[in-house]
Amino acid sequence: MSDLKSRFDAAVAHSQKLSERPDNATLLKIYGLYKQATLGDVTEKKPGFGDMIGRAKWDAWNGFKGVSSDEAMERYIALIESLS
């Protein structure tokens, strides 16, 4: 396993144990970076207006479109470290 992947996995584990719950905007950024790092660009259709949470998550993920998996992992790690 690469060093980056192991650092990313550690950050994911740590994100579940943060002392304070981040605000919604930060949670969406965490979600978008995680999805971009693990799955790449969003390929799913944007949820309809009735699914506000789904739309917010889709927008957060789509906001990182074109960012490489490695770059998304680096950004995710940095964000989690900044919240610690």
Boundaries of every domain in the chain: 3-83
Separation in Å, CA 48 to CA 19, 21, 44 = 34, 28, 12
Confidence of residue 1 (pLDDT cuts 50, 70, 90): low
Contact between residue 75 and residue 34 where contact means Cβ atoms under 8 Å apart: no
- Alpha-carbon distance of 83 to 78, in angstroms, equals 9
CA angle 74–79–84, rounded 5-degree value: 125
- The 10s digit of each residue's pLDDT in 37-75 is 999 999 999 999 999 999 999 999 999 999 999 999 999
Contact 80, 30 (CB under 8 A): yes
Domain 3-83 has CATH 3.40.190.10: no
